[in-house]
């Protein structure tokens, strides 16, 4: 049951992530994603069978202490951006910002559930326990998605920011080797997932901050 809840939260989070990319791309002048129906919360338009189901379930079953997944990347045409460089950076960061907002909302939700439960003076109901569990995974998953996507390995969002910061010759080489980024990430997730627990320290820091905030409502 918990595994289904986790995957449901993950799917919603990655869908919002991709919708944020599509929405920001439209603001930058590119309507490609909009024309393809990607500015929608309907998961059918976004889900990738491998990245949205197989990888998350595999990581969960392996119990490596790290959970991740993705949806189908939103198609964009940077040539249509009013500012090709800054437009690409803003579109790339939009998904990360969306996940951080979801993490904040999940924190507030957990605090409200805890406060209501404490006011009733009765033991937590199954509903409140489910909502609390959902909020916890909402905080954790969205923090992981936000900070993991900042890692500058293509095709992660952070790679777009680094690409525009590099000197032109280095950026060209970086884009060429980027085609091997996804296989590398998948291999590292399954065989050396412990590496990501070391570089994802911001997740633990902000998770502790969220926990401290929630406890203020007791």
Q: Flag the least confident range among 27-41, 50-64, 94-108.
A: 50-64
81 or 153, which is more confident: 81
The whole-chain average pLDDT of the chain stands at 87
Is residue 101 exposed (0-12), middle (13-18) or buried (19+ Cβ within 10 Å)? middle
Q: Flag the least confident range among 24-38, 104-118, 149-163, 171-185.
A: 171-185
CA distance 88 to 120: 49
Can you read off the two tokens belonging to residue 153?
Answer: 């390995």
Q: Which residues are marked as active site?
A: 18
DSSP string, 123-188: PPPHHHHHHHHHHHHHHHHHHHHHHHTTS-STTSHHHHHHHHHS-HHHHHHHHHHGGGHHHHHHHH
Task: Write down the pTM of the prediction.
Answer: 0.88
In this predicted model, what pLDDT tens digit does every residue of 147-182 receive, in sequence order? 989 988 888 899 999 999 999 889 888 888 877 777
Residue 1 reports pLDDT greater than 70: no
Residue 47 dihedral angles phi and psi, to the nearest 5°: -70, 140
CA distance 113 to 93: 30
């Amino acid at each position: 049951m918990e595994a289904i809840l986790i995957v449901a939260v993950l799917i919603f989070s990655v869908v919002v992530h991709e919708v944020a990319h599509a929405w920001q791309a439209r603001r930058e002048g590119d309507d490609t994603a909009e024309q393809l129906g990607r500015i929608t919360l309907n998961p059918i338009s976004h889900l990738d069978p491998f990245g949205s189901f197989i990888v998350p379930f595999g990581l969960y079953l392996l119990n490596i202490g790290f959970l991740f997944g993705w949806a189908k990347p939103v198609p964009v045409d940077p040539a249509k951006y009013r500012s090709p460089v800054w437009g690409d950076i803003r579109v790339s960061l939009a998904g990360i910002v969306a996940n951080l907002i979801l993490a904040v909302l999940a924190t507030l939700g957990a605090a409200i559930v805890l406060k209501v439960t404490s006011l009733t003076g009765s033991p937590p109901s199954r509903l409140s326990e489910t909502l609390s569990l959902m909020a916890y995974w909402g905080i954790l998953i969205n923090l992981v998605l936000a900070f993991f996507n900042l890692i500058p390995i293509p095709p992660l969002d952070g790679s777009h920011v680094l690409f525009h910061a590099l000197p032109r010759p280095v950026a060209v080489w970086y884009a060429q080797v980027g085609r091997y980024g996804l296989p590398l990430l998948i291999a590292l997730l399954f065989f050396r997932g412990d590496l990501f627990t070391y570089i994802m320290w911001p997740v633990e820091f902000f998770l502790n901050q969220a926990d401290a905030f929630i406890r203020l409502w007791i």
